[in-house]
Structure 1
Amino acid sequence: MKTAVLRRTAAAAAVGLTAAVTTALGAAPAQAAACSGTSGVTVIVDFTAVGGTIQTACALGDPASGLAALTGAGFTYGFVPRQPGFVCQINTKPNPCNGAPVTAYWSYWHGTPGGSWTYSTSGAGAYNPAPGTVEGWAFGAGTAPGQAP
């Protein structure tokens, strides 16, 4: 009986530790699924160029900007030092942000579910995504995310 309790306790601790480590390493946000219908803005972030995976999450409601959609979907971001508005890191990737190749940056994209990507001509702080649309981010030389909207 005592052994079974210890096994269950150890298993629960391992699950908790795995969740904590996964969260600390930049796991998918809590709302890790596309939005349904027009209930929010779906955000897709392609981390493959920085050693990660493609993550999809939902920013519920009507975010006022692309940056609000990014954070509403559970992602964090940082700007290039002394260049506010130019996203340098998403979920602390790449690290350090100024250690990336000169030709690599977080490109920002717009799409509709089932459609194709359109490169953003507006900054994420100025663009107002409509509910039901998809926002995309990909690190590299301006290539679209590796997953369709």
Structure 2
Amino acid sequence: MKRMRLLAAALAVVATVLVAPAGGASAAPQRLGTAGYCPNANGVTVVVDYQGLGFATEIRCAPGDQATGLAALENAGFVVTGTDRWGKAFICRINGQPTPAAEPCKNTPPASAYWSYWHAPNGGSWTYSQSGATARKPPLGSFEGWSFSQNAGPTTNPPPRVAPVRP
């Protein structure tokens, strides 16, 4: 019985060490991925073009094989908010944009203001994705693009303004 209590206490200490964040509870979360283009074909380059939202286009690398477009977006270091109703099946915000005042993210974002999803091979052209980010697996070395589409229709959504070419 004493052995069981000692074992339970030891396991509790190990669990606390494994779960507690390094540096205490106030430690900032580490941003995944790396800034800029993936240096080679061993990753997926992710481009987020805020278009009319007033922010600079961000380019980050999700290293290694990515299971889905959503995984690439998050593994590149972007913070993603889905909708209350559909979760991340519908991307509502990327890095907090558009703001909650502009879009409450309760249901599917409107067709007149949403994050359009694009993909391209290195050196190719952007193609509007016919499947959602949770259903598409980006090939190694490819580009994933997100462009905020505002006041555009299904045939006039703007692709990202960065060419999908690794420097």
The normalised TM-score by structure 2 is 0.67
Q: Deviations over 1:3-45 (max 9, x none)?
A: xxxxxxxxxxxxxxxxxxxxxxxxx976111112211000000
Partner Cα distance (1:143, 1:110) in 2: 13
1:136 to 124, 145, 160: 145
Shift of 1:81: 2.3
The count of aligned residue pairs is: 123
Structure with more of its chain in helix, by fraction: 1
2:125 to 116, 127, 132: 116
Equivalent position SS for 1:57: strand
Moved runs in structure 1, 4+ residues, more than 2 A? 99-102
2:136 to 118, 121, 127: 127
Q: Deviations over 1:90-111 (max 9, x none)?
A: 0010001526875011000000
Q: Tell me, which stretches of 5 or more residues in structure 1 are unaligned?
A: 1-27
Equivalent position SS for 1:70: helix
Counterpart for residue 70 of structure 2: 67
Rg (Cα) greater in structure: 2
Q: Check conservation: 2:33, 2:75, Cα contact below 8 A.
A: no
Q: Tell me, which stretches of 5 or more residues in structure 2 are unaligned?
A: 1-30
Counterpart for residue 145 of structure 1: 160
Mapping 1:1-149, distance limit 5 Å:
31-84=34-87, 85-96=89-100, 98=103, 103-140=112-149, 141=152, 142-149=157-164
Shift of 1:57: 0.5
The normalised TM-score by structure 1 is 0.75
Structure with more of its chain in strand, by fraction: 1
